[in-house]
Structure formats: C-alpha cells, structure tokens
Amino acid sequence: MYKLKGAATAHTSGDGTDNIGSADALYILAEADTTITVAASAGTSPYAGSIKLKANQTITLAKQAADTIATTGNISCTKIAFHW
C-alpha cells in the first residue's frame, strides 16, 4: 500500500539531476530500459548507487530528501511516504 504525496512527474536523461521535490521515497516506472543513479547532493549518502530497470518495470526507491536522481532513459516518478 502506498501513501501518495503528489502526482506522477516525468524525468528524462535530459533533465539532469533532481531531488524530485525533496522526496525521501519514490515509486518509479521505467518507460524504457534505463539506469537510475542516486547521488548525495553534498557529502555522502547511504542511499547512493545505481540500479538498472527494464521497460515497464517499477521500483520503490528510498533516498535522503536532498539526494538527487538521474536517469539514462524516461521514467515516471511519484513521491510516496517512506513506510519501512
């Protein structure tokens, strides 16, 4: 079960890095094969890293609010409440 914290927004490789509204958790749909990278905005983050997704694959991604994401393809991101 997800608690939505906003509408889905598109994010593409051309968008660079974004913290997606300071979200600490995201529901992501890959619209095509893609690699998603989480990076610390400053210093280090225990959530930093990369993951590959296939087209139409979804993932729930935890990150720190200031962490940014970048993608090699088109994804749809929805902010959700962190629930673990």
Per-residue pLDDT of the chain (84 residues; tens, 9 = 90+): 889 999 999 999 989 889 999 999 999 999 999 999 999 988 899 999 999 999 999 999 999 999 999 999 999 999 999 866
Predicted local confidence at residue 43, as pLDDT: 87
Token code pair at residue 41: 């905005």
The structure tokens 């992501």 sit at 28
Rounded Cα–Cα distance for residues 14 and 65 (Å): 21
* pTM (predicted TM-score): 0.91
Predicted local confidence at residue 1, as pLDDT: 84
Rounded Cα–Cα distance for residues 62 and 59 (Å): 10
Cα within 13 Å of Cα(19), Cβ side: 12
Closest CA to 65 of 28, 27, 18, 30: 18
> What residue segments make up the domains of the chain, in order of their start?
9-79
Question: Is the separation of the CB atoms in 70 and 37 below 8 Å?
Answer: yes
